[in-house]
Amino acid sequence: MKKTLRYNFRIKPTPEQEAKLIEFGSYARGLWNLLLSENLRRYRYDKTFFFYPEMAKLIKELKVFEEFSWLKSFDSAAAQQVARDLDMALKNSFSKSRLQKFPTFKVSFKQKKLHNDSFRCVNNSNCIRIENGAVSIPKIGKVPIVLHRKLVSEIKTVTVQLSHGKWNVSLTQEVDCKTAKRVLHSIVGYDINSQHTVVGSNGWYVKNPKAFKCSSTKLKQIQVQLSRREKGSNRWHKTKSRLNTLHGKISRQRLAFAHEVSCSIAKASDIIVFEDLNVKGMQQFNGHMVNDNVMGMITSQTQYKVELNGGIYHEIGRYVKSSGICYECKHPHKFGLSVREFACESCGLVQCRDLAAAKSIENTGENDLMATGRVTRVIPKSQKKSSTKTKVFELSKFGVGTEKKEAA
């Protein structure tokens, strides 16, 4: 089984190459707006849209006219990718399974006061390759690249983007996943909260570094300076650049933290269980806390890393109660978010709220996987006569129930 992954690298273009990259980004934005306006015009005329085949044909026909001569300067494969992106955005907005809005026009350079456009090229006939510390991009040339890791396979596409004043390329490559493990020796449930980013049922936890909160004082100072500058002046642009750089530093700190935590979780056990959180809904009443905690980023990164290692990733239902349940007698409790420790009303055991929730998530995930027949509980031969038995699971075939099997 293969999985397509993206790897980001920093590039350092020359002034001439940078001007051309900005120009190509504006071409991609202009083509998107052009195709979208044509779709809206056609919908007003006969209540229909045209998709990728008709868009690609329209791009080819427009190159003849002098007004659209800039399409000849643009890479043809990148222009087709813009049409494919708009085609996918239109289809996702119509789909009931995807909660995605109708595509909108991309804002121009003069309104945004910065050029953070992007474009994507396809590796046709090995036109995108890395040689002698430089990546070759069609119609741009060889751009110096900071290659901090080796390539795992051939490059499929490259996306060039200016983010927070730095040029980056995102290379997509196919990675071979490890074969699924037949015998799974461990299962761990994880609870995500505001105080500790992740708390595991095995006692492992990570504190929330709160990157935004640590930089909030400096952010306020720069924002006050920006408000006192004359808009559009040189000093205003310099202060705006400092603010943009600081926001980029915060986002990179969050991304690095999410990668470190998800990597540790994926390597810790064979079965990972999380709860399905409504992150978008939580952002409406406490957006800074949720964004600083990178809740959605950790779960999505953990999922693909577990699949690469051949393990099982599972999420319990969104409306399944996991907090306030005693992990000894399973007695439920009700209390506010300020209570971090509680004594069970039934057995009297004093326990941490987050650890109890993680163990409840583990038990629920185990029951879900066994009920659906995805895994079965097994008893190893070495533990048959032992009084203490560890949890060992085995991948079950379709139609096999939860009966016990003999493990090798």
Q: What is the pLDDT of residue 382?
A: 59
pLDDT of residue 352: 84
Q: What is the pLDDT of residues 132-162, one digit of tens each?
A: 889 999 999 999 999 888 888 889 999 999 8
Q: Which residues contact 184 (CB under 8 A, 6 or more apart)?
A: 270, 271, 311, 312, 375, 392, 393, 394, 395
CA–CA separation, 165 vs 246, rounded Å?
Answer: 11
Please list, in sequence order, all residues whose beta carbon lies within 8 angstroms of the beta carbon of residue 304, skipping any fewer than 6 positions away: 3, 5
For residue range 354-370, list pLDDT tens digits in order. Answer: 888 888 888 888 888 88
Sign of the alpha-carbon dihedral angle for 92, 275, 337, 265: negative
How large is the angle between the packed helices 15-46 and 76-94, nearest 10 degrees?
Answer: 40
**Residue from 51, 58, 117 nearest 84 by CA:** 51
Q: Give tens-digit pLDDT for 64-110.
A: 898 888 999 898 999 999 999 999 999 988 887 777 888 888 876 55
- SS3 track for the chain: CEEEEEEEEEECCCHHHHHHHHHHHHHHHHHHHHHHHHHHHHHHHHCCCCCHHHHHHHHHHHCCCHHHCHHHHCCHHHHHHHHHHHHHHHHHHHCCCCCCCCCCCCCCHHHHCCCCCEEEEECCCCCCCEECCEEEECCCEEEEEECCCCCCCCEEEEEEEEECCEEEEEEEEEEECCCCCCEECCEEEEEECCCEEEEECCCCEEECCCHHHHCHHHHHHHHHHHHHCCCCCHHHHHHHHHHHHHHHHHHHHHHHHHHHHHHHHHHHCCEEEEECCCHHHHHHHHHHHHHHCCHHHHHHHHHHHHHHCCCEEEEECCCCCCCCECCCCCCECCCCCCCCEEECCCCCCEEEHHHHHHHHHHHHHHHHHHHCCCEEEEEEHHHCCCCCCCCEEEECCCCCCCCCEEEC
Higher per-residue pLDDT: 5 or 335 = 5
pLDDT digits 0-9 by tens, 183-219: 788 888 898 877 788 888 888 888 888 888 889 999 9
Least confident span in 87-96, 257-266, 329-338: 329-338
Distance CA 239, CA 289 (A): 26
1-10, 74-83, 268-277 — most confident range: 74-83
pLDDT, mean over the chain = 84
- Say if residue 286's pLDDT is above 80: no
According to the model, what pLDDT value does residue 407 have? 41
Counting residues of the chain whose pLDDT is more than 70, the rounded percentage is 90
Average pLDDT over residues 375-383: 66
- Contact assessment for residue 146 and residue 12, using Cβ atoms and an 8 Å cutoff: yes
Residue 301 has pLDDT above 80, yes or no: yes
- Contact 239/226 with Cβ under 8 angstroms? yes
pLDDT score, position 312: 87
Q: Please tell me the predicted confidence (pLDDT) of residue 13.
A: 93
In the predicted structure, residue 115 carries a pLDDT above the cut 70: no
- The confidence band for 396, taking pLDDT boundaries of 50, 70 and 90, is low
Confidence band for 319, pLDDT divided at 50, 70 and 90: confident
Would the pLDDT of 17 be above 90? yes
pLDDT at 387: 57
Q: What is the pTM of this model?
A: 0.82
User: Does residue 385 have a pLDDT over 60?
Assistant: no
Q: Is the pLDDT of residue 400 over 80?
A: no
| Most confident option among 120-124, 191-195, 392-396 | 120-124
CA angle 172, 173, 179 (to 5 degrees): 135
pLDDT at 402 over 50: no
Q: Which of 192, 338, 201 is nearest to 276 (CA)?
A: 192
Q: Could you tell me if 407 and 381 are in contact, meaning their C-beta atoms sit under 8 angstroms apart?
A: yes
Residue 405: which pLDDT band, with cuts at 50, 70 and 90? Answer: very low
pLDDT for residue 379? 64
**Which of 363, 263, 358, 367 is CA-nearest to residue 305?**
263
Confidence of residue 403 (pLDDT cuts 50, 70, 90): very low
337 has a pLDDT exceeding 60: yes
